[in-house]
């Protein structure tokens, strides 16, 4: 579920973000934004929020370790036949 994102952009399903055909921008329903414009927007927001913390140097280098990442894996096993629950010792 999601709320209104922009005028006329409402719904109750998943929010799908796709790449444009040329790969230079992202699309959210009928809205399109280039990656350059997205970077500019994120950078401006970062600088505005960072200005609220005068002790923070916005020109400081990134912390060591790089971008945090998470990975996930899943395995599904499909067995045909009669369903039988495993014996659980009491």
Model confidence band, residue 55 (pLDDT cutoffs 50, 70, 90): confident
Predicted TM-score (pTM) of this structure? 0.47
Please state, rounded to an integer, the average pLDDT across all residues of the chain. Answer: 76
38-52 per-position pLDDT tens digit? 889 888 998 898 889
Residue 54 has pLDDT above 70, yes or no: yes
All residues at 6 or more sequence positions from 33 whose CB lies less than 8 Å from its CB, including other chains: 25, 26, 41
pLDDT, tens only, 11-29: 666 667 788 878 888 887 7
- Token reading at 69: 């990442």
């Amino acid at each position: 579920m999601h709320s209104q994102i922009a005028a006329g952009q409402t719904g109750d399903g998943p929010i799908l973000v796709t790449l444009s055909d040329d790969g230079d921008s992202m699309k959210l329903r009928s809205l399109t934004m280039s990656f350059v414009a997205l970077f500019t927007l994120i950078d401006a927001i970062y600088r505005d929020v960072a200005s609220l913390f005068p002790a923070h140097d916005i020109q400081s280098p990134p912390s060591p370790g790089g971008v945090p990442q998470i990975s996930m894996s899943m395995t599904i096993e499909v067995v045909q036949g009669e369903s039988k629950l495993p014996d659980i010792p009491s």
